[in-house]
């Protein structure tokens, strides 16, 4: 039940007439008789398709913006059941920093660590300690030149011993004293075996004794605590990355795929374009059916264009974003609710997903985006200023309206990816001449947002609110509510007057 239900074209046309020129704040939904005893996020099914083959248990995606999603954000999003898309806001030719971020996510949470950090038996203890420090892991697998398992070295093995003159072989637990499992193993079987043999680490080896992977008790425990997490077939967290449509995008894609990225995003401001046409053809020619999201579009023609060129998901939103000035600077765009309905109608009956991208300023709009057409919702500003968003905290003086007192408040910067500062950072400024920079038409801006807690708390609040919406809507799951809405939209939709809007959303 994770696919958007097919929408009847006649009903979709009626809804489209109703929502033309409208966005989230123009509507409110009429409450229905509730069938839920409890609005419990642990039992209400919110699953959706991010793209043709990737299922999310929570329909939340963090935006590929350089002030929103790097590894820490992507990890939290995937742990909470959504996914993060690592931005490509690194300078052209600098593929490695983005690849590194993807690598960090793929290594964070594993059922089985396919490629555990390792050390040779002849390395010094200082060298081993330095690998531990750099990698942030407390145990290293000891292997020989052909990856044959020789032992295990943990931080504890090095504690309270003088390091001089000692080598890994002197302190490791040798393989004959380890519990080792031949061949692959499921997380459940690994847990049983590790409990029985009272070990915290379980190396996996093939019949030649060559290391195949490592299971750790810590990862198994974390897996249990995060039942909704978005994982790949090997139990690793899933992550996406944006590559653009020109320049180094194919080389970037190749490196990201090699590192284990789950889905790529060809993401340009105007995705219904000749540039996208070329990029999609080149991508498919080189990478076959690798999972690919393309965008952004905001019209039926735009969505059909991407569908016909083999996108696995279409990102919808031209101009609704919090850090975006496209509509102001170009007078082009489509109000987001209209865009969602148009694109949903165009995609209906296909298995290509729709990502509703941008314009969510309050949690209730997430629910609307998921009703009007989004399989999932992409959010940027909602996650800006959190502990996991990149960027330094700056203290700003703010005057309190009540007392007129000036206080220092921590802020973080959110900037549109088409803002001048973001573009300038992507260019190699030393090489770009001044005129070139000045000629750029910026379509984004930079704003300060108050620093707030963890994105994890924000996602969990969003999910609770979404469950409440489902309860008000008279359904038992997200899928069921979509069915009910599209069967009889008039039962739900209330177009608000100006004063009703003020009553609803202004506080």
The set of catalytic residues is 324
If one asks whether residue 355 binds ligand XMP (CB under 6 A), the answer comes out as: no
344 phi, psi to nearest 5 deg = -60, -45
If one asks whether residue 381 binds ligand XMP (CB under 6 A), the answer comes out as: yes
Q: Which residues contact 70 (CB under 8 A, 6 or more apart)?
A: 86, 87, 101, 390
What does 257-269 look like in DSSP terms, one character per residue? HHHT-SEEEEE-S
Q: Which residues contact 335 (CB under 8 A, 6 or more apart)?
A: 21, 22, 23, 320
Q: Which of 300, 379, 466, 484 binds ligand XMP (CB under 6 A)?
A: 379
Under a CB-based contact definition with an 8 Å cutoff, are residues 77 and 58 in contact?
A: no
CB atoms within 10 A of CB 138: 12
Under a CB-based contact definition with an 8 Å cutoff, are residues 253 and 267 in contact?
A: no
Q: Which of 417, 455, 458, 484 binds ligand XMP (CB under 6 A)?
A: 417
If one asks whether residue 335 binds ligand XMP (CB under 6 A), the answer comes out as: no
If one asks whether residue 194 binds ligand XMP (CB under 6 A), the answer comes out as: no
What are 467's two structure tokens? 């469950």
Residues contacting ligand XMP: total by CB under 6 A? 26
Cα separation of 113 and 234, whole Å?
8
Q: Which of residues 427-446 bind ligand XMP (CB under 6 A)?
A: 443-444
If one asks whether residue 25 binds ligand XMP (CB under 6 A), the answer comes out as: no
Q: Which of 67, 154, 326, 353 binds ligand XMP (CB under 6 A)?
A: 326
Q: Which of 79, 342, 357, 375 binds ligand XMP (CB under 6 A)?
A: 357
- From the list 97-105, 277-285, 320-328, 469-477, the region that binds ligand XMP by CB under 6 A is 320-328
Binding mask 231-270 for ligand XMP (x = CB under 6 A): --------------------------------------x-
Cα separation of 309 and 88, whole Å?
23
Q: Which of residues 56-95 bind ligand XMP (CB under 6 A)?
A: 63, 65
If one asks whether residue 359 binds ligand XMP (CB under 6 A), the answer comes out as: yes
Cα separation of 437 and 85, whole Å?
27
If one asks whether residue 296 binds ligand XMP (CB under 6 A), the answer comes out as: yes
Question: Judged by CB, which is closer to ligand XMP: 380, or 385?
Answer: 380
SS3 449: strand
Cα separation of 199 and 357, whole Å?
46
Cα separation of 357 and 369, whole Å?
9
Q: Which residues bind ligand XMP (CB under 6 A)?
A: 63, 65, 269, 296, 317, 319, 321-324, 326, 357-360, 378-382, 416-419, 443-444
């Amino acid at each position: 039940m994770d696919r958007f239900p097919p929408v009847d074209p006649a009903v979709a046309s009626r809804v489209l007439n109703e929502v033309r020129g409208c966005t989230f704040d123009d509507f409110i939904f009429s409450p229905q008789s509730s069938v839920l005893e409890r609005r419990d996020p642990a039992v209400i099914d919110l699953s959706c398709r991010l793209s043709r083959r990737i299922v999310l248990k929570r329909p939340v995606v963090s935006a590929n913006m350089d002030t929103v999603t790097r590894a820490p954000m992507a990890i939290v999003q995937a742990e909470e059941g959504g996914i993060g898309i690592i931005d490509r806001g690194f300078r052209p030719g600098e593929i490695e920093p983005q690849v590194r971020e993807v690598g960090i996510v793929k290594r964070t949470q594993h059922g089985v660590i396919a490629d555990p950090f390792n050390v040779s038996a002849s390395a010094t203890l200082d060298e081993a300690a330095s690998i531990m420090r750099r990698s942030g892991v407390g145990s290293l697998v000891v292997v020989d030149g052909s990856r044959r398992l020789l032992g295990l070295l943990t931080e504890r093995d090095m504690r309270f011993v003088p390091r001089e003159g000692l080598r890994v072989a002197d302190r490791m637990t040798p393989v004959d004293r380890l519990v080792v499992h031949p061949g692959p193993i499921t997380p459940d079987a690994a847990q049983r075996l590790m409990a029985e043999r009272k070990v915290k680490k379980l190396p996996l080896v093939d019949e030649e004794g060559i290391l195949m992977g490592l299971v750790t008790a810590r990862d198994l425990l974390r897996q249990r605590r995060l039942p909704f997490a978005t994982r790949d077939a090997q139990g690793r967290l899933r992550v996406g990355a944006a590559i653009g449509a020109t320049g180094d995008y194919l080389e970037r894609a190749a490196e990201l795929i090699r590192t284990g990225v789950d889905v790529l995003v060809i993401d340009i401001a105007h995705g219904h374009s000749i540039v996208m046409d070329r990029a999609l053809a080149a991508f498919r020619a080189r990478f076959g059916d690798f999972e690919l999201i393309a965008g952004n579009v905001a019209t039926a023609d735009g969505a059909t264009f991407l569908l016909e060129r083999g996108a696995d998901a279409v990102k919808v939103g031209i101009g609704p974003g919090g850090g975006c000035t496209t509509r102001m600077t170009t007078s082009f765009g489509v109000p987001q609710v209209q865009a969602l309905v148009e694109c949903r109608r165009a995609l209906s009956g296909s298995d290509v997903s729709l990502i509703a991208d941008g314009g969510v300023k309050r949690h209730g709009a997430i629910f609307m985006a998921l009703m009007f057409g989004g399989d999932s919702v992409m959010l940027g500003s909602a996650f800006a200023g959190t502990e996991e968003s990149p960027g330094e905290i700056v203290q700003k003086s703010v005057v309190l309206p009540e007392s007129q007192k000036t206080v220092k408040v921590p802020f973080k910067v959110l900037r549109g990816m088409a803002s001048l500062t973001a573009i300038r950072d992507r260019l190699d400024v030393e090489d770009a001449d001044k005129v070139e920079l000045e000629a750029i038409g910026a379509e984004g801006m930079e704003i300060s947002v108050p620093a707030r807690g963890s994105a994890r708390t924000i996602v969990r609040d969003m999910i609770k609110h979404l469950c409440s919406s489902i309860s008000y809507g008279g359904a038992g799951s997200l899928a069921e509510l979509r069915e009910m809405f599209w069967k009889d939209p008039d039962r739900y939709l209330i177009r608000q007057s100006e004063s009703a809007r003020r009553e609803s959303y202004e506080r």
